[in-house]
Chain A
Amino acid sequence: TQLLEQSPQFLSIQEGENLTVYCNSSSVFSSLQWYRQEPGEGPVLLVTVVTGGEVKKLKRLTFQFGDARKDSSLHITAAQPGDTGLYLCAGVVVRGSNTGKLIFGQGTTLQVKP
């Protein structure tokens, strides 16, 4: 079974703090996506990383794909209340019966207090 494990599952911080969310698996992915989901809404795609070691920046958000393409991280600098939401990672499977499928982690709930 290919699983994506996210950590932490819940994070509550003060505005201005930095944080990192991790997405780990024993499986290799051809690409990995990060989504943010706000209450009452569907997930919104933030970024896709496709190359091992790749780093992408989106304003205060930095995404990294692990060299072996089994893990990824999301780092937020100087978090703001507007960053509050559920962060989901999702990977495209490259081997096995689920090849080509997109599987999701269970999500990290981030709460940024003003």
Chain B
Amino acid sequence: ETGVTQTPRHLVMGMTNKKSLKCEQHLGHNAMYWYKQSAKKPLELMFVYNFKEQTENNSVPSRFSPECPNSSHLFLHLHTLQPEDSALYLCASSQEGGLAADGQFFGPGTRLTVL
């Protein structure tokens, strides 16, 4: 248990569906992240939020829409996804407000399959 929870753990959706991934951290951290993990590829940073403000969008397609209502919660809204978007989506948090060297705490991930 790392103090970062994600729901759902598994999600299967069609290309026309709209769904949302949820992340919650109980560590009192100020920064939260979304990563995409695909087989045989390095972790890909998608978004960074510091103190609820988005500070990084790593050229992510608009069919992925993040939302950070407060420092403890992070959402990823999904709409009209493609089969190649199937992957493990990981949420992480860290103490400092940025991509610093203080280490990141990851949630267990949501395994997403797009049909």
With CB as the reference atom, state the residue of chain B lying closest to A100: B99
Residue in A44, A45, A50, A106 whose beta carbon sits within 8 Å of that of B42 in the complex:
A106
In the bound complex, what is the Cα–Cα distance between A42 and B4 (angstroms)?
10
Q: Interface residues of B, CB < 8 Å — how many? A: 23
Contact at B104–A45, with CB atoms within 8 Å?
Answer: yes
List the A side residues contacting B43 at CB < 8 Å. 43, 88, 90, 104
Interface of chain A, main secondary structure: strand
In the complex, A103 has a CB within 8 A of chain B: yes
Which size class do A's interface residues fall under? 20 to 34
Contact code string B18-48 (vs A, CB < 8 Å = 1, else 0):
0000000000000000000000111101000
CB contacts between A and B, total, < 8 Å:
54
In the bound complex, what is the Cα–Cα distance between A101 and B101 (angstroms)?
9
Which residues of B56-115 are within 8 A (CB) of A?
90-92, 98-109
Contact at B106–A44, with CB atoms within 8 Å?
Answer: yes
In the complex, A31 has a CB within 8 A of chain B: yes
Contact at A50–B101, with CB atoms within 8 Å?
Answer: yes
